[in-house]
């Protein structure tokens, strides 16, 4: 791989990293508005508010960047970056299309992605602890409990599909995927998606943010660009979780018509899952902390374990 190709790949991933979250965010603005019988942004960019998030970005840049006096400065300032960078790295290993259409084909891509998504909890704890604010701390501890808990069904569900495909490489998993896996891996799909929602702390799993009780959880003390980074991390998170769900369980670039259109299928599937994420946010109320833990430990983990057994059994039966 020469330097030009490397630069091209990194550039493409960076562009995806900057554009896809904005698309998801704009879709959320409009879809949420219309689900609530509103219109949403209509002015920015003249046509149905398409430039709203760009305007928001400009606004965030102009805002004063405040670090509270009691805060632990360096940690406080570093946390948004720690929240954002892992998702950028995950995008690197997610295959967009057949063959070489992936930022960096990695033999242990799945392992890498899961490990790096797990870094999120560190950023949250950094932000929470360094803010010197009790709401931040409460939100951070809730987030830690939630992320630690949901990490388990998340990884178990992903392990099931890795077992089915017999590889940890994401492009290979997609390549070996067959439509009947939709049924075979259905419990894992649901567990992975629900746990993924909890991993990115989206409603109905937004207990760590819970604006009606915790101001804005671990993001309470953040302003300006750093706050924007946290928000961007949330939307990249949606992209990453949707893309991972599409890659692992929905067959990624598989689809009718020519294989050269694979990237389109992948984007469509990712978009559909992201739409679900938005839809759930509009339709469902927040889970209480105890309900959240109960769902994880009493439903998701057992289902994921049962799926593992099923996967192993089918694999052995087929071999």
Partner 1 sequence: MSGVPGYGLGKGLAITLKTLVSRSTTQQYPDVAPELPPRSRGVIALREENCTVCMLCARECPDWCIYIDSHKEEVVVPGAARPRQRNVLDRFDIDFSLCMYCGICIEACPFDALFWSPEFEYAEYDIRNLLHDKDRLNEWMATVPAPPAHDPQGEPSKEEANALKKAGAA
Interaction site with partner 1 (CB under 8 A)? 31, 33-39, 42, 279-280, 282-284
Q: Which two tokens stand for residue 230?
A: 């946290």
HSE at residue 235, side-chain half, CA atoms within 13 A, is 21
CB of 193 to partner 1, least distance (A): 14
- First vs last Cα of the chain: how many Å apart? 37
Min dist CB 28 to partner 1, Å, is: 12
Nearer to partner 1, 42 or 305 (CB): 42
CA pair distance 205, 197, nearest whole angstrom: 7
Residue (16 or 292) nearer to partner 1, CB: 292
For residue 10, the tally of other CB atoms under 10 A from its CB is 13
CB of 39 vs partner 1, minimal distance in Å? 4
Q: Which is nearer to partner 1, 33 or 306 (CB)?
A: 33
Nearest approach in angstroms of CB 42 to partner 1 is 7
Of 24 and 240, CB closest to partner 1:
24
Q: At its nearest, how many Å lie between partner 1 and the CB of residue 296?
A: 17
The gap from C-alpha 224 to its chain's centroid, in whole angstroms, comes to 23
Nearer to partner 1, 35 or 152 (CB): 35
3-state secondary structure the chain: CCHHHHHHHHHHHHHHHHHHHHHHHHHHHHHHHHHCCCCCCCCCCCCCCCCHHHHHHHHHHHCCCCCCCCCCHHHHHHHHHHHHHHHHHHHHHCECCCCCCECCCCCCHHHHHHHHHCCHHHHHHHHHHHCCCHHHHHHHHHHHHHHHHHHHHHHHHHHHHHHHHCCCCHHHHHHHCCCCHHHHCHHHHHHHHHHHHHHCCCCCCCCCCCHHHHCCHHHCCCCHHHHHHHHHHHHHHHHHHHHHHHHHHCCCCCCCCCHHHHHHHHHHHHHHHHHHHHHHHHHCCCCCHHHHHHHHHHHHHHHHHHHHHHHHHHHHHHC
- In whole angstroms, the minimum distance from the beta carbon of 287 to partner 1 comes to 11
Which is closer to partner 1, CB of 190 or CB of 225? 190
Give min distance, CB of 159 to partner 1, in A.
26
How many C-beta atoms lie closer than 10 Å to residue 119's C-beta? 16
**Which of 42/145 has CB closer to partner 1?**
42
CB-nearer residue toward partner 1: 43 or 313: 43
In whole angstroms, how close is the CB of 26 to partner 1 at the nearest point?
Answer: 15
Nearer to partner 1, 33 or 141 (CB): 33
Tell me how far, at minimum, the Cβ of 29 lies from partner 1, in Å. Answer: 13
């Amino acid at each position: 791989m020469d330097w030009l190709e490397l630069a091209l790949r990194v550039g493409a991933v960076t562009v995806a990293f900057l554009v896809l979250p904005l698309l998801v965010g704009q879709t959320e603005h409009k879809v949420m508005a219309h689900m609530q019988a509103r219109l949403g942004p209509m002015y920015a960019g003249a046509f149905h508010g398409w430039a709203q998030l760009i305007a928001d970005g400009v606004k965030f840049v102009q805002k004063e960047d405040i670090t509270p006096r009691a805060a632990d400065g360096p940690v406080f300032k570093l946390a948004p970056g720690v929240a954002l960078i892992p998702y950028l790295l995950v995008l690197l290993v997610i295959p967009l299309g057949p063959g070489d259409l992936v930022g960096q084909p990695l033999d242990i891509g799945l392992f890498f992605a899961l490990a790096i998504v797990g870094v999120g909890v560190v950023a949250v704890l950094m932000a929470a602890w360094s803010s010197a604010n009790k709401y931040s701390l409460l939100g951070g501890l809730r987030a830690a409990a939630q992320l630690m808990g949901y990490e388990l069904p998340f990884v178990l569900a992903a392990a099931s599909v890795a077992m089915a495909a017999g590889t940890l490489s994401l492009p290979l998993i997609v390549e070996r995927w067959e439509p009947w896996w939709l049924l075979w891996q259905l419990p894992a799909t649901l567990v992975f998606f629900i746990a993924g929602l909890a991993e990115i702390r989206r409603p109905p799993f937004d207990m760590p943010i819970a604006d009606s009780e915790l101001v804005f959880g671990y993001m309470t003390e953040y302003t300006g660009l750093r706050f924007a980074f946290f928000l961007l991390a949330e939307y990249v998170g949606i992209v990453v979780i949707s893309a991972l769900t599409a890659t692992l369980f929905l067959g990624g670039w598989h689809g009718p018509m020519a294989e050269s259109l694979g990237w389109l299928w992948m984007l469509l599937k990712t978009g559909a899952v992201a739409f679900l994420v938005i839809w759930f946010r509009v339709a469902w109320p927040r889970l209480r902390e105890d309900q959240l833990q109960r769902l994880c430990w009493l439903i998701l983990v057992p289902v994921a374990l049962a799926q593992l057994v099923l996967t192993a059994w089918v694999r052995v039966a087929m071999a």
